[in-house]
Structure 1
């Protein structure tokens, strides 16, 4: 059964969250999980643009390498989260929609389904502005440090709250609805203890998967650390991005017991100054419209991105998913290589900024 198509720009998540728990049946759950897949996909493009903008020749006392490593590991976490949510959807008879124009992220623009409605996600190089965006995306309901209040008029629908509602719906679902069908299994534990994409054949496995997704992103109610790390002491996504933003390592004050951004400096690395991609791509910028050579490279990236999404969607429809997952990973490597050529091309406006990958889905 294919998931209900809910356009990326909609109020689906807000509506789903308003549904009384007793009315959250299997159809509600299939729609919610499709939206959760879109959330995980939506984070990968902004994080990747930031990563690829880092100047690979900058090794300022290892700081650049550490930041590259941290962002890269977060991207792998998000890919793992997407895989786990796809398994949640197929185990209850749904089929993930990943390569479809209606569900494609639109940048700059809101996150899918109306989650965190005051956020406007964008694609650009690594900067404090992009780190503020990433922090807002990953922000828990009640951060234990940097208690940023709600923005004026914001109704708080955090990603973590949405996953809590999904788990509630799973717990009230009759056990026979969890079939264990079309489960993709893929090892990614080299990037973190919870990163393997594993079969989800009962409520215990589903509850564990949701715990991993939430706590890798937000930490726990008592600690900013990632309980499922790749390395000891690794922070969850929100706090990793916050310490990059503040330029100071997050440490625990042994006197007060509070976590504070008072540790060693974390300077941002030298980057290629990739500018914010206009809505619909660079062709829509009359000042910085690409020439033929630049457009060819941008097109090459977009076509490879489309291939990657197609491989991923096919993996949850195939009897041989590992081959398709492998092809998707190969496409991701090609995207990185093409992006390295894009972020060094200067914009025609003389601003000193450079182009940034567009992440446009191609239908033909």
Structure 2
């Protein structure tokens, strides 16, 4: 089992991308796969906060369904990224506060450095931020950003796999089917063909393709890639292809923003625990309960992909899946508690804490 001490640089992906192809050795690939795990992990807290904030008793549910589909996709991407690392003989690192993404802050590794990722309820600003996370280098409905995308990073990792397929060991591969049309399955990556397909799923579900904004690996026909689904929520309009120009534009049917719990933006380091703006004892208990549950989830996921015994690994994975369901209740209870001064409410901090 490889125990490579992954670099902790905040710009690690940028540094990895700067390495010429001939210097992308096995350690480079394992380091890159660890960064891919952190990227996939970093998307889940903001998307979950947006989804959990939606009032399910009002509206047509279309925005909630879109967010739910994306969350399950990102969970499968996280699992595939873990399989990318372990097939290279590496081991995921998730039980360290210096590694786990924090908010507000940049995406891991220096991807999209102009972007600040934050935790809040679903708002127009949040939808804009979600879409910028997923934005491809050549979007069909927006001017390209000046910095490499997540997709460009995955392309570089894929090129390294293609150059060195002998590094694929098939070690400690976990599989998972979410069921009910939710997300793509997490599959074993023991061959180059499987690696190519997995990276294709991660890239194209997030960014679409150069020819279409649709997700080519959908849970439902016509489902959009994440970038375009988020842009629809931001524009409050369906994406349609202009028959005259052939361009994709947000000119379709209206998409009303659903009613939400008004979760405020979590400040750096979490909500203050002391001073005049300190929460009451009940709110503090909920904040701590959520952080402990989230941290336990990360440790269970790490243990699942570190076990050589397949039965033990599967047991940790199923325990992690059960642990995921523990997060929603304290999160939504927090979103119903007003912050001092009114106007906005608390919400989960997603802070890693040691047991």
* Partners of 1:233 and 1:282 in 2: CA distance: 40
Alpha-carbon contact 2:168-2:191 (below 8 Å) kept: yes
- TM-score, normalization: structure 1? 0.93
Once the two structures are overlaid, the 10-residue window that deviates more, 281-290 or 247-256, is 281-290
Q: Secondary structure at the match of 1:101?
A: coil
SS of the residue aligned with 2:244?
A: coil
Residue of structure 2 equivalent to 1:5: 6
Q: How does 1:1-364 map to 2 (within 5 A)?
A: 1-7=2-8, 10-58=10-58, 60=59, 62=60, 65-147=61-143, 149-150=144-145, 156-175=147-166, 177-188=167-178, 190-191=180-181, 195-283=184-272, 286=275, 288-318=277-307, 319=309, 320=311, 321-350=313-342, 352-364=343-355
Tell me the distance in 2 between the aligned counterparts of 1:128 and 1:185: 36
Partners in 2 of 1:53 and 1:210 — Cα distance? 31
**How far is the alpha carbon of 1:133 from its aligned partner?**
0.7
Partner SS state of residue 122, structure 1 = coil
> How much does 1:158 deviate?
0.7
Shift of residue 2, structure 1, vs aligned partner: 2.3
Q: 1:219 to 1:301 in 2, by over 3 A?
A: same
Q: Deviations over 1:62-119 (max 9, x none)?
A: 1xx1111111111111110111111111111101112222211111111111111111
Q: Which runs of 5+ in 1 are unaligned?
A: none
Contact 2:273 2:279 (C-alpha < 8 Å) held by counterparts? no
Task: State the number of aligned residues.
Answer: 351
Q: Distance in 2 between matches of 1:207 and 1:86?
A: 15
CA RMSD of aligned residues (A): 1.5
Alpha-carbon contact 2:165-2:192 (below 8 Å) kept: no
- With structure 2 as the length reference, what TM-score do the two structures score? 0.95
Aligned mates of 2:28, 2:195 — CA distance in 1: 17
Asked whether the equivalents of residues 215 and 222 of structure 2 are also in contact (C-alpha less than 8 Å), the reply is: yes
Question: For residues 344 and 92 of structure 1, what CA distance do their matches in structure 2 show?
Answer: 44
CA distance in 1, matches of 2:85, 2:91: 7
Q: Structure 2: 5+ residue runs without aligned partners?
A: none
- How far did 1:146 drift? 2.4
CA distance in 1, matches of 2:181, 2:44: 16
The alignment partner of 1:307 has SS state of helix
**Cα separation, 1, equivalents of 2:176 and 2:21:** 32
